[in-house]
Amino acid sequence: MSDPPGVHLAQLNVGRLLAPPEDPRVAEFMNALDLVNDIGKKSPGFIWMMEGSGAPNVGNTETYIGDDPQFVTNLTVWQDVESLENFVWNTVHRKFYLRRREWFEVLDRMHLVLWWVPAGHRPDLAEALAKLDHLNRNGGSAEAFGWSGLNEAKLWRTRRCEAQSA
C-alpha cells in the first residue's frame, strides 16, 4: 500500500505490562516514557499523540483497556510511513523495542495496527481498538494492516527483530 494523497498514517500499539505501572519491575520502562515520547513528538513527520494526564513518567498508561491497568496503549498519527519508521527504528525507541520482553507479556495476537486517516483526523481509542480487532479477525487489508502491508516500509524489513517476540 502506498501513501494515499490527503491522508496520514495512524498507529496503535497495545502491550500488557508484566506488572502494574508503579511496580519496580517495569520502572525502567515507565521512567523512559517521557524521553521516548518527547523524541517522537519532535521527530519529522509527527502529527499527534493520544496523551494521558500529563503526569511525569506515565505516558498513555492511564488509558486502560477495560479495567486492566497493565494494558497500555500508544496511539499516534504520522505524516507518512517514512516518518513513523524513522522514529521506531532510528531513535532510542528501538532500544526499548528490542528489550520489550523485559517489561511486556508476549501476546497471542496482533498488538500493532496501522491505518490511513484523513489529514486532520485524530482517532480515539475506540476507533483504534476496532481497527486492531478488524486486523485480528480478518488479516491485513486496506482498512487495517501491519508493517508487512506497507510497501514503503523499508526499515521494518531490515531492522526489526525476530517475529515471535511480540
The answer to the question of residue 165 being in a domain is: no
Domain that holds residue 11: 7-159
Assign residue 76 the CATH number of its domain.
3.30.70.100
Q: How far, in Å, CA of 108 to CA of 34, rounded? A: 28
The answer to the question of residue 84 being in a domain is: yes
> And the C-alpha cell for 162?
525476530
The pTM (predicted TM-score) of the whole model is 0.87
pLDDT band at 162 (very low <50, low <70, confident <90, very high): very low
The answer to the question of residue 17 being in a domain is: yes
The answer to the question of residue 2 being in a domain is: no
Q: Give the 3-state secondary structure of residue 74.
A: strand
Count of structural domains within the chain: 1
Mean pLDDT for the stretch of residues 6-10: 96
The answer to the question of residue 166 being in a domain is: no
